[in-house]
Amino acid sequence: MTHRPFSLRVLDAIEAVRVRLWPEAFRPLTPLAFLLPALILTGLLAAGLVPLLDASFRPLDPATFRLAESYAAKNYITLLTRPVYGWIALRTFAGAVIVTVVTLILAFPYAWTMVRTRSARLRRCLLSALFLPFFIGQVVRAYGWLIVLGKQGLLNAVLASLGLPPLSILYTYGGVLLGLVQYMLPFAVLMLAPALTAIPKEIELASASLGATPAATFRHVVLPLARPGLVAAAVVVFTLTLTDFAMPEIMGGGSNKFVASAVYDAFFQLADPGLGGALAIALTLVGSLVVGTALAAFGLGTLGYVQERKEAS
């Protein structure tokens, strides 16, 4: 202890500052202090929701394009009575469920291969392939899909050369879901990979040596251990799909709108922030409710309290 290395002295200095700023008496407040920056940042968003919540209870006056002074439920009644909003809500919700399931099915093998491959080069390639699609902007991405899936696109050229009939995927509901799955896949893989890394290889080997088939090992050993990652990926993919705007616009050809597009139309085309606010509040409530229910049913995902997981296993 005669000579402390530089790094340790830096830590000592940090510790000294910490003791001064955060005395032992504050100890019970430490979790709150840790959460505070994130709570404040998210609070900016929550603060932005307040004027919209207020607007959602005020109908638009078309003579002045201002919202009424007094409160009324007109915007919410419009949502409930106009069948078009019911259709859009159903389309969005069903889409979010389908996209979540398909994305998880596609993401699991990818994450598995990436985590378990012995080849560093393959792992590098798989990681790069995850990040690249992000860099193609919305408009240009639409162009890429048109070239691949269009009536005279690559896919149909391949099908024609095989003597198969052409497929029209683009500008249909199926096309929207396809675009969404492609967009969500990297997020899902990134959520799953750490959970899979945490599964020790030895457990699988042990299971196999006890005579379990790979399928049985997968079902009874791997899947339960991967559950926190699966829950995390599902929550992320579901909420992002539920509120997505870009993909239905790009891949839907205009007649496959999701709720976010209806919100956009209300704000920007109709100049009616009241109706837009009502739609947004309804969507946010439904999304939060579903997430809350899912977390209650399947556990808190990767955010679960570690000790709890230990007790359970």
Partner 1 sequence: MKRGLLPLLLGLVTILDVVFLALPTLVVLAASFTAGNIVTFPPQGWSLRWYADLVQKPEFLEALGRSLEVGVVCTALAIPAGTLAALALARFRLRGAAFLQIYLLLPFTIPLVVSGVGLMLVFGRLGWLGSIWPVGVACCVVNLPFMIWAVAAAVNHLDPDLENAAWNCGAPPAHAFFTVTLPAVMPGIVTGALVMFILAVNEFLVSLMLVDARTVTLPVLVYNAIRSIITPDLAAVSVVYVVLALAAIAALDRLVGLEIFLKSKQS
Partner 2 sequence: MTTNMSATLSRRRLLGTATCAGLAALPLASRFTLAAEPTKPKELIVRAWGGVWVEALEKGVSKPFRERTGIAVRHDLTEDNELRPKIWAAVDQRRTPPVHVNWDTTTNATKSALRGVAEDLSDLANLKEMLPAARPTGFRGVPLINMYSYVYVLAYRDEAFPNGAPDSWQVLLDPRFKGRIALYDDGIGFQPPAQIAGGGKLEDIPDNMEPCWSFMRKVKAQNPLLGEDPDFTTWFQNGEIDLACTILSNARAARQNGIKVSWTVPKEGAKVDTDSMWVPKGLPENELYWAKRYIDFAMTREAQQVWTGELGLPGLRPGLTPPADLVGDPAYPTRPEDFARLLSVPSPVLVQHEAEWSQKFNEIMQG
Q: Which residues bind partner 2 (CB under 8 A)?
A: 62-66, 82-84, 87-88, 139, 142-143, 146-147, 150-153, 168, 170-171, 253-255, 257, 265, 267-273
Phi, psi of 62 (to 5 degrees): -70, -10
Binding partner 1 (rule: CB under 8 A), the pick from 25, 44, 297, 312 is 44
CB of 141 to partner 1, least distance (A): 6
129 contributes a contact to partner 1 by CB under 8 A: yes
Spatial CA neighbour of 263 closest among 272, 276, 275 = 276
14 lines the binding site for partner 1 (CB under 8 A): yes
Angle at 17 between CA 15 and CA 20, to 5 degrees: 110
251 binds partner 1 (CB under 8 A): no
In the chain, the N- to C-terminal Cα span, in Å, equals 42
Within 65-104, the residues that bind partner 1 by CB under 8 A are: none
Report the candidate in 141, 80, 99 with the shortest Cα–Cα distance to residue 233: 99
Rg of the chain taking only CA atoms, in angstroms: 25
Rank residues 63 and 294 by Cβ distance to partner 1 and give the closer one: 294
CB of 72 to partner 2, least distance (A): 17
Nearer to partner 1, 63 or 193 (CB): 193
For partner 1, give the closer residue by CB, 22 or 87: 22
d(CA 146, CA 166): 14
Q: Which of partner 2, partner 1, none lies near 166, with the C-beta cut-off 5 to 8 A by kind?
A: none
- Widest CA span of the chain, in angstroms? 82
Residue 239 main-chain phi, psi, to 5 deg: -70, -40
- Report d(CA 75, CA 54) in Å as an integer: 12
Site for partner 1 in 273-292 (CB under 8 A): 273, 276-277, 280, 283-284, 287-288, 291-292
State yes or no: residue 195 binds partner 1 (CB under 8 A).
yes
